[in-house]
Structure 1
């Protein structure tokens, strides 16, 4: 599992000539790193100097920590889901019945493979939301990490979108395609705009 690997082990597998892990897992780790950066900045925004914001900061810490866990879970889930697609392609198809079973299994696997990055787009949005909220009160000494968190979340969302699209193209179930579209409708664009705005605001504060 990705969540229990060392960084070196994960990168070695990512670089190998194996189908998993791939871009979906990488996107999830982008989101996890973004959430971890938010949690780190929040933890530096504690103590007497920030007492008036203590409740908000603590809530952001809890939310960011939970997003790290969720993103790592999605990294593992994406790897498993894509392996399911690969396994479905390998199913026997020597008879009409076997062809039908293979086709049904493949469609189910593709829907699952698209569902994981769809959830990740939502996680990326939550990371940017918490980063934006934290920016207003964050310790100025680590404010650049707010921008880093936003950039990581943007990368997670845009990479997840590519993974959604490539799976949806092969999904024949119109209702399933519609559900996936509804689930992510507009979220990726909002993440990009919010991340760009937040990075600009951080730069503005740093550069005066």
Structure 2
């Protein structure tokens, strides 16, 4: 569980030969870092006319950090379930049928964490867009970093969704996942534009 490990131990575990945590968990960590940067940047904004906005952004960002981290664990758990499904016996026709059904169910389950992460990332990105309008200019680079972290998080989540999509047979589920991919790609483009715009402001 990510809550029981320090950052170094978790990253070293990711770098090991264990199958999980992997890319999906990395995306969740990126989203959590983006939310943390939003919270920090908002708290550096002390102009009286922006106090309420800054407080709301900081509080919501703080709530999104554990939401993102929970998805890191959910992704690892879902991958474990999928690996278990692939390990089922397939010697008889009945076993093959049961294994195929289990794989499809586990694949749908494995798609859930990255789909949820797209939603979390969208909310962090919206907070980042708000910050751009009134944030303390001294932390603009941190806001740009937040946008880049969210861009990476959503892009990675989309790649994970597409991996699961390739194995699914259910038409309705495939349509839902394709819609998530399209939404994610739009968010990735939006995050990239936001980061680029902020960097242009920094350069003056």
TM-score bracket, normalised by the shorter chain, equals over 0.9
Q: CA RMSD in A?
A: 1.3
Q: Give, in angstroms, the shift of residue 97 of structure 1.
A: 2.2
| Superposed counterparts of 1:40-51, under 5 Å | 40-46=40-46, 50-51=47-48
1:10 equivalent in alignment to 2:10: yes
Partner of 2:197: 201
8 Å CA contact 1:14, 1:21 repeated in 2: yes
Of the candidates 131, 136, 139, which is equivalent to residue 133 of structure 2?
136
Q: Which runs of 5+ in 1 are unaligned?
A: none
8 Å CA contact 1:71, 1:120 repeated in 2: yes
TM-score under structure 1 length normalisation: 0.93
8 Å CA contact 2:158, 2:181 repeated in 1: no
TM-score under structure 2 length normalisation: 0.95
Runs of 4+ in 1 over 4 A off after TM superposition: none
Q: Which runs of 5+ in 2 are unaligned?
A: none
| Superposed counterparts of 1:42-191, under 5 Å | 42-46=42-46, 50-182=47-179, 184-191=180-187
Q: Give, in angstroms, the shift of residue 116 of structure 1.
A: 1.2
8 Å CA contact 2:89, 2:99 repeated in 1: yes
8 Å CA contact 1:125, 1:190 repeated in 2: no
8 Å CA contact 1:122, 1:187 repeated in 2: no
8 Å CA contact 2:41, 2:142 repeated in 1: yes
1:33 equivalent in alignment to 2:30: no
Aligned length: 204
Deviations 1:136-156 (A, max 9, x none): 111111110000000000001
Other structure's SS at 1:186 match: helix
Once structures 1 and 2 are overlaid, which stretch shifts more, 1-10 or 73-82? Answer: 1-10
